[in-house]
């Protein structure tokens, strides 16, 4: 009987040890500092799906973009430097007027408080534009705006990919169209310094470059065969509409954000 009890105690001890070792692995997703834990932190439930801190950050950033880019567009129209800049300024005003109506509606429904003035950095950009001489104004204006749009572009894509909230997902889709349209028309001004944009985007990075091998001068690579479906495939969709160098931002008008809030 003693031998059996001793064996049982050994087995119990082993099971307990294995359980203690395995528990941190089973519960790892719930521990602070992990991806799932970070995703859950600050998340609230709504009728449109979970609303994360990252979702709320995008909502606020879309609002902030309009608060400084609308006056930037208006300023450019008043200084009237060139037809291309007037076109870009027109797109900024139209695009952010539309986006602001959309983001105010989303914020109203989700209970997110929005700022009512640009942040300190954005106010500084507006002041740089104001202080620029007529000769420098096109370059200062176009590059400040192009750089800001380029930095929020990947953030929009990240939220569009990971959000579980249908309102935020639609806002990200709308913002993606608008930002790409603004990047396109800003580049058409001819004042964007792509060298400076590229250097700024990698400032502080230390990773070695990767990707396919660099082309060999004088060597023409073989042509790649077309990638296409095989067999008798019937399709109905078409590539995105719009002439080359344009972005289609045509979409139904948003609802009035000042209307009666939708209950969560």
Q: Is residue 142 within 8 Å of 51, Cβ to Cβ?
A: no
Q: Is residue 181 within 8 Å of 84, Cβ to Cβ?
A: no
Exposure on the CB side of residue 34, measured as CA atoms within 13 A: 11
Q: What is the pLDDT of residue 45?
A: 96
- The mean pLDDT of 180-185, rounded to a whole number, is 96
Could you tell me the pLDDT band of residue 249, with boundaries at 50, 70 and 90?
confident
Q: What is the pLDDT of residue 206?
A: 81
Flag whether pLDDT at 41 surpasses 80: no
Flag whether pLDDT at 31 surpasses 80: no
Average pLDDT, the chain: 86
Q: What is the pLDDT of residue 214?
A: 86
Q: pTM (2 decimals)?
A: 0.79
Q: What is the pLDDT of residue 245?
A: 73
Percentage of the chain beyond pLDDT 70 is: 82
Could you tell me the pLDDT band of residue 236, with boundaries at 50, 70 and 90?
confident
- Per DSSP, the three-state class of 58 is helix
User: What DSSP string describes 147-164?
Assistant: HHHHHHHHHHHHHHHH--
Could you give the C-alpha distances from 115 to 66, 67, 157, 176, 203, in angstroms and in order? 11, 9, 23, 21, 29
Could you tell me the pLDDT band of residue 33, with boundaries at 50, 70 and 90?
low
State the Cα–Cα distance between residues 92 and 86, nearest whole angstrom. Answer: 10
Q: Is residue 110 within 8 Å of 51, Cβ to Cβ?
A: yes
- The mean pLDDT of 47-56, rounded to a whole number, is 97
Flag whether pLDDT at 208 surpasses 60: yes
């Amino acid at each position: 009987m003693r031998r059996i009890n001793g064996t049982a105690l050994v087995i119990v001890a082993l099971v307990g040890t294995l359980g203690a070792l395995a528990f941190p692995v089973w519960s790892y997703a719930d521990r602070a500092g992990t991806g799932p834990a970070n995703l859950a932190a600050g998340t609230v439930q709504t009728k449109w799906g979970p609303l994360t801190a990252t979702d709320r950050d995008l909502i606020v950033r879309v609002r902030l973009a309009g608060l400084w880019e609308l006056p930037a567009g208006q300023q450019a129209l008043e200084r009237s430097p060139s037809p291309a800049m007037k076109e870009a300024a027109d797109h900024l005003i139209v695009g952010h007027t539309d986006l602001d109506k959309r983001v105010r509606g989303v914020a109203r429904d989700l209970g997110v408080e929005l700022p009512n003035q640009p942040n300190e950095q954005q106010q500084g950009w507006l002041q740089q534009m104001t202080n620029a001489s007529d000769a420098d104004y096109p370059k200062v204006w176009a590059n400040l705006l192009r750089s800001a749009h380029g930095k929020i572009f990947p953030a929009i894509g990240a939220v569009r990919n990971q959000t579980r909230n249908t309102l935020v997902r639609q806002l990200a889709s709308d913002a993606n169209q608008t930002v790409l349209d603004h990047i396109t028309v800003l580049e058409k001004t001819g004042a964007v310094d792509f060298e400076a944009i590229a250097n700024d985007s990698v400032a502080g990075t230390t990773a070695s470059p990767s990707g396919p091998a660099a082309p060999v001068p004088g060597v023409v690579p073989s042509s790649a065969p077309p990638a296409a479906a095989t067999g008798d495939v019937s399709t109905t969709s078409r590539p995105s509409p719009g002439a080359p160098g344009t972005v289609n931002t045509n979409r139904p008008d948003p609802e009035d954000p000042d209307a009666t809030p939708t209950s969560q």
